[in-house]
Chains A and B, each alone.
Chain A
């Protein structure tokens, strides 16, 4: 089975502060991991994905995530938050043998001036 847990339904940061969104996965086989962002009333946009190459993955808009097998984690970070980063972020997992993505419940990122 595959599953994802995102800690914190809401995260608040100030503009310019570090962004850290947490994601832990459960999988009995090596996973493929994804982060998507969703702006209000829109679909999901891929930020980055891990496919068993480099453990540190760089994505769009200055985001990056590090795959840590020992911690079963794939946390999303950005050194300096912008107001435009305010959105909902979803972590998702997919493993061989599964055709679809399993998503976490999402974390809403709030950025204050």
Chain B
């Protein structure tokens, strides 16, 4: 079990540029989640996948954000035309969902810290 990994760990970009983050979940986990965490706040849900299907998106996920999970393995989160308000820590988590119960544990990666100048 190598845990959830995220790449890059840090990203500095200029306003208006596009950025893409990658998340590699724990290998047997079928669910993958993206959260955003700003300073002084808890993580806020953005979107999640069960296998390759994107099942839910938060209202926080504007049209500039897109996420994919091809083949149900790794996932990418892309932000187009970045704004200063996008500066945050982007966290990925994965879990093994058993019969749709809500008690499965989400394991978090180290996060990608985005700074938009």
Question: A interface vs B, CB < 8 Å?
Answer: 4, 9, 32, 34, 36, 41-46, 49, 51-52, 90, 92, 94-106
Nearest residue, chain B, Cβ from A46: B105
A43 touches B40 (CB 8 A): no
Nearest residue, chain B, Cβ from A90: B42
CB distance from B111 to the nearest CB of A (A): 5
Indicate whether B43 reaches chain A with its CB closer than 8 angstroms: yes
Question: B interface vs A, CB < 8 Å?
Answer: 4, 6, 33, 40-45, 48, 55-56, 91, 93, 101-103, 105-111, 113
B45 touches A101 (CB 8 A): yes
Which residues from chain B contact A52 at a C-beta distance below 8 Å?
Answer: 103
Which residues from chain B contact A42 at a C-beta distance below 8 Å?
Answer: 110-111
Nearest residue, chain B, Cβ from A106: B42
Which residues from chain A contact B40 at a C-beta distance below 8 Å?
Answer: 9, 105-106
Given contacts A42-B110, A100-B45, 8 further A-B contacts (CB under 8 A): A44-B43, A44-B93, A46-B105, A90-B42, A90-B43, A98-B102, A105-B40, A106-B41
B109 touches A43 (CB 8 A): yes
CB distance from B82 to the nearest CB of A (A): 21
- Selected A-B contacts with CB under 8 Å, 6 pairs: A34-B105, A36-B108, A51-B103, A90-B43, A99-B102, A106-B40
Assess A92 versus B42: contact at CB under 8 Å? Given A32-B103, A51-B103, A99-B55: yes
Bound together, the chains give a CA A30 to CA B23 distance in angstroms of 32
Nearest residue, chain A, Cβ from B100: A96
Nearest residue, chain A, Cβ from B9: A41
Nearest residue, chain B, Cβ from A91: B42
B105 touches A100 (CB 8 A): no
Nearest residue, chain B, Cβ from A100: B45
Which of A49, A96, A104 touches B105 (beta carbons < 8 Å)? Answer: A49
B48 touches A101 (CB 8 A): no
CB distance from B58 to the nearest CB of A (A): 8
Which residues from chain A contact B111 at a C-beta distance below 8 Å?
Answer: 41-43
